[in-house]
């Protein structure tokens, strides 16, 4: 009896050690995936340093000038509709630096920001490589386009935030005054933070269909639940639009809300596709 107990204890200990080794192996694999993603971000950050003059003058400061693409398109739209008020002739924004090392940290922060944005697709690819071995063959096929769709939605969100939300917000906030006696002088760090927040936040929010796909695959979310909760989703979307856009005007909030409503409806379709796959798989197992 004692020998059997000893053998059983050794087997249990062996299984425990194997599980622990497997856990640490996964941690080691995850570490290398993150290291490679970090290296990619560093490479893009260095590239941003090389092209910094173009990035800062054209990309970062673009929404602060009246010749920005969005303002030109608004002016053309105003001409078509016969409303010259759409044209923006002046943006009352004066940027200043108030710290000794302010412009140096500005260059580092802005280059790092560009590096993160450009390196995000590769980060998604490394995440996919880490998760892929744990999936079954059918799950791999179903999630094959994960990196492509997540990257596409992220870029779409970044473009929407940069070309729609950011110029609208800068134009409103730069011209807003409580009193004519108060002059607006904006710290360059505050300006960069606003541009980065508006663009990145929109890029992240546009990942909604991917989040819906993951939650639906885990059985947490269903298309029926999303349809029945549509009225609550409308309120949530309006709140998110109000948070993303610092401007209180309804026009900007409406512009931001429309793509979020579309993304929610796309999420319902995605959840429906996932549910059909689950039902089909269950039917095949029953056979």
Cα torsion angle, 53, 55, 56, 59, sign: positive
Torsion angles phi and psi, residue 181, rounded to 5: -75, -15
Per-residue confidence (pLDDT) for residue 11, from 0 to 100 = 47
What residues of the chain score a pLDDT lower than 70? 1-26, 85, 134-143, 246-249, 285-287
- Which H or E element spans position 187? strand 186-187
Per-residue confidence (pLDDT) for residue 7, from 0 to 100 = 47
Quick check: 129 and 146 in contact, CB under 8 A? no
* Residues paired with residue 146 on neighbouring β-strands, in sequence order: none
Residue 105: burial class (beta carbons within 10 Å; 0-12, 13-18, 19+): middle
Torsion angles phi and psi, residue 231, rounded to 5: -65, -35
Per-residue confidence (pLDDT) for residue 152, from 0 to 100 = 92
Smallest Cα–Cα separation from 226: which of 242, 209, 241? 209
Per-residue confidence (pLDDT) for residue 116, from 0 to 100 = 92
Per-residue confidence (pLDDT) for residue 14, from 0 to 100 = 43
Per-residue confidence (pLDDT) for residue 135, from 0 to 100 = 66
């Amino acid at each position: 009896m004692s020998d059997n107990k000893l053998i059983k204890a050794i087997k249990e200990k062996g299984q425990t050690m194997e599980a622990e080794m497997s856990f640490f192996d996964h941690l080691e694999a995850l570490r290398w995936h993150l290291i490679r993603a970090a290296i990619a971000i560093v490479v893009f950050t260095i590239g941003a340093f090389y092209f910094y003059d173009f990035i800062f003058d054209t990309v970062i400061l673009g929404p602060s000038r009246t010749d920005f693409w969005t303002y030109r398109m608004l002016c053309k739209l105003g001409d078509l509709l016969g409303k010259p008020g759409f044209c923006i002739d002046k943006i009352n924004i004066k940027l200043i630096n108030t710290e000794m090392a302010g412009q140096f940290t500005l260059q580092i922060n802005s280059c790092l920001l560009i590096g993160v944005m450009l390196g995000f697709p590769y980060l998604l690819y490394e995440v996919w490589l880490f998760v892929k071995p744990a999936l079954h063959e059918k799950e791999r096929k179903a999630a094959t386009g994960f990196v492509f769709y997540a990257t596409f939605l992220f870029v779409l969100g970044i473009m929407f935030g940069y070309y729609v939300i950011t110029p609208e917000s800068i134009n409103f906030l730069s011209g807003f005054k409580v009193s004519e006696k108060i002059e607006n002088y904006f710290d360059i760090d505050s300006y960069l933070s606003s541009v980065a927040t508006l663009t990145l936040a929109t890029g992240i929010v546009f990942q909604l269909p991917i989040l819906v796909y993951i939650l639906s695959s885990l059985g947490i979310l269903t298309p029926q639940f999303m349809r029945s909760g549509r009225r609550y989703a409308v309120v949530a979307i309006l709140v998110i639009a109000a948070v993303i856009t610092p401007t209180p005007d309804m026009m900007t909030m409406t512009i931001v809300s429309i793509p979020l409503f579309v993304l929610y409806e796309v999420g319902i379709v995605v959840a429906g596709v996932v549910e059909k796959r689950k039902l089909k798989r269950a039917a095949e197992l029953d056979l």
